[in-house]
Amino acid sequence: MPSTRDLRRRIRSVRGTQQITKAMKMVAAAKLRRAQQRISEARPYAETLSRVLFSLAERTEHVHPLLERRQRRSRAWLVVVTSDKGLCGSFNGNLLRLAERELRSGRWEDAEVVAVGRKASDYFRRRSFKVAHEERDLMSRLSDEASHRLAAMFIQAFTSGQVDEVWLQYNSFFSRMRQLTRLERLLPIEAPAAGPQPPEATVDYLYEPDAAALLEALLPRHVATQVRRALVDSAASEQAARMTAMDAATNNASEMIDGLTLQYNRTRQASITKELLEIVGGAQALQE
């Protein structure tokens, strides 16, 4: 049985850990509010741009290389977006297991990984999968320049014939308690889900300068917008998962402190009782 000194030391240690988890939860909550604001700005723009883009593509006979659907789909890049840091529960583990399952499923004959985030980089370095590119510290310093740079790399690989498809796998923010793992095709560009069409959808427009020039300007911007949305979504999901994990850790620490305190009181009471019995026994022995 541990002594009262050992129990006091453990209680102080758990309280110190509890203070750290409380602070991390508050930091994650502050970062989550900023990330939610970025999502609220990025999602409507990405969805509107996608609708406008495919409305334009359906109205013109011009074929852009980014819309080309190739007969073969043997070569692909799977872009796996994780965090740079841990302490966020199963946020990274679930995503990486699903990514490995996709790579082993036979969907592509030759698949390479683009690891975004230190956790994805470390995970695939220890396995036999081909890693085409790594971004180890991108999620800690998320910027528009990084999303444009990645989008340009994906476009160059696709248009040059290096790959036939580019897929994104990331965690999408749904709520503070729920994050959804998504697998989306980035290239070739996929049409949005069909919905109710307004009456003016069948009416053609006048283009200035022309439809081909508009597609040439909009399609690369669309790719960059989708990459940025995935990165921002993943960043918000990371903070939500970390806040949930730190809240659970704080509650567990409280329960552990209560249990250790109860054990400390019992040990202390048993020690006092033992000393009293020794005193009473000594007094009776002297009397006899």
Place of tokens 């669309």: 222
Active site residue 88: yes
Half-sphere exposure of 129 (CA within 13 A, CB side): 31
Strand locations in the chain (E) = 75-81, 110-116, 130-135, 165-175, 178-187
Annotated catalytic residue within 7, 39, 53, 88: 88
Report how far residue 95's alpha carbon sits from residue 171's, in angstroms, rounded to the nearest whole number.
7
CA separation, residue 182 to residues 95, 117, 169, 174 (Å)? 9, 16, 6, 11
Query: How many CB atoms within 10 Å of residue 142?
Result: 17
Q: Which residues pair with 79 in a beta bridge?
A: 114, 168
> Of all helices (H) and strands (E), which one includes residue 132?
strand 130-135
Active site residues: 88
